[in-house]
Amino acid sequence: MCNHNNSPASALPKNSSARAERVVEGGHLGPVNAALMPRYAGLSTFALLPQITEVPHADIAVVGVPWDAGVSYRSGARFGPNHIRQSSRLLRPYNPALDTSPFAQCQVVDGGDLALNPFNIHEAVEALEDAATEFSAQGTKLVTLGGDHTIALPLLRAVAKEHGPVALLHFDAHLDTWDTYQGAEYTHGTPFRRAFEEGIVDTEALCHVGTRGPLYGVRDLEDDRRMGFGIHTSRDIHRMGIDETVARLRERIGDRPLYVSLDIDVMDPAYAPGTGTPEAGGLSSLVILELLRGLDGLNLVGADVVEVAPAYDHAEITGVAAAHVAYEFTTLMARKIGGLA
């Protein structure tokens, strides 16, 4: 016989989701309490957080964009959001690296998926811009789980509507400032050229982090420089170290509104095999997480982690890495909202 009082995990149909006993800290509804409920049970939400419909207001929403119609090589990032959610069940509510309980500082939720048309890229890009704009109108900051890198463009458009041209830190193996692929302007290799052309990024404060691998030609770098991007390549960071890299990034960004876009392929394929365009010679998950923590106190207005393609993943290696990236993003935002940074 099971004792219902002491067994919150029991499968009572009566109130199964109501029995998902949640951590409540700082007056905010937090994740399912893994000390009381098996964390592998139930619906996958990011970090076992409540869904947006369970709270009156969300300060930060982690939203999925299951869409990958913009890829130039392996597809499958449309399955990224749910893979990251499933891989995020082990995240705990206190982040010792920044001495913060992000979900206690403000209301963080899983905002569900923004389902976009896979057959019409222009329509999808517009719909995402509209959806992201609605969140910002409600005072909700987004941490977006991709999806391929195309989605960074409409997300940037939405933050620029609120803040004007934003500083951009772009963590990626790739520049993603190419012009077109097969004549297409909206692809995962072109979002930041479009953003530059549209004037929605602050050309005084643009930087790629972790780039590497062969290019089409030296012109790629010349074009990129002309758009105002600085570059800390994977090799630079390996030689320079984390602290010096962080210092240079912070100097470039200052107190500008900052958007961080992180393509999971910035990590070496050993740390993130589940992605569509892998490049050897990348940074470890530790180095990337440390660089992100180094952004503490900056004015982070939006962030994404993109290009997780679970069909190429193993043992949730990539999913776990992406979940931790998103967790650091929520921590950075929550510290700012909660007045800790």
Ligand X SMILES: N=C(N)NCCCC(=O)O
Whether 263 has a binding-site annotation, put simply, is yes
Please indicate if the annotation marks 255 as binding a ligand: no
Give me the count of residues in the chain.
Answer: 341
Q: What would the two tokens of residue 238 be?
A: 């390996």
Within residues 245-274, the interface with ligand X by CB under 6 A covers 263, 265
x-or-dash string of contact with ligand X, 28-67, rule CB under 6 A: ----------------------------------------
Nearer to Zn ion, 73 or 94 (CB): 73
Any known ligand binding at 243? no
Distance of CA 114 to the CA centre of its chain: 14
Interaction of residue 189 with ligand X, rule CB under 6 A:
yes
**Which of 49, 209 has the CB closer to Zn ion?**
209
φ/ψ of 305, rounded to 5, equals: -130, 120
- What are the start-end ranges of the E strands in 185-264? 201-211, 229-233, 257-263
Q: Which of 22, 31, 62, 72 binds ligand X (CB under 6 A)?
A: 72
| Residue 189 near which of ligand X, Zn ion, none (CB within 5-8 Å, type-dependent) | ligand X
Q: How far is the CB of 176 from Zn ion (least distance, A)?
A: 4
Footprint (CB under 6 A) of ligand X, residues 158-187: 174, 176
**Is residue 268 annotated as involved in ligand binding?**
no
Instruction: Return the residue of 59, 202, 224, 263 that touches Zn ion, per CB under 5 A.
Output: 263
Residue 64 has φ and ψ, to the nearest 5°, of -100, 145
Total residues at interface with Zn ion (CB under 5 A): 7
* Residue 73 binding: pick among ligand X, Zn ion, none (C-beta 5-8 Å cut-off by kind): ligand X
**Spatial distance between the Cα atoms of 306 and 309, rounded to a whole number of angstroms:** 9
Q: Which two tokens stand for residue 300?
A: 């982070």
Q: How far is the CB of 153 from ligand X (least distance, A)?
A: 11
Restricted to residues 304-323, the positions that interact with ligand X (CB under 6 A) are 307
Q: Are 144 and 304 in contact (CB under 8 A)?
A: yes
CA 3 distance to own-chain centroid: 41
Q: Are 261 and 157 in contact (CB under 8 A)?
A: no
* Cβ neighbours around 123 below 10 Å, total: 11
Please tell me the distance from the alpha carbon of residue 243 to that of residue 218, in angstroms, as a whole number: 29
Q: Residues in the site for Zn ion, rule: CB under 5 A?
A: 149, 172-174, 176, 263, 265
> Annotated binding residues for Mn(2+), as ranges?
149, 172, 174, 176, 263, 265
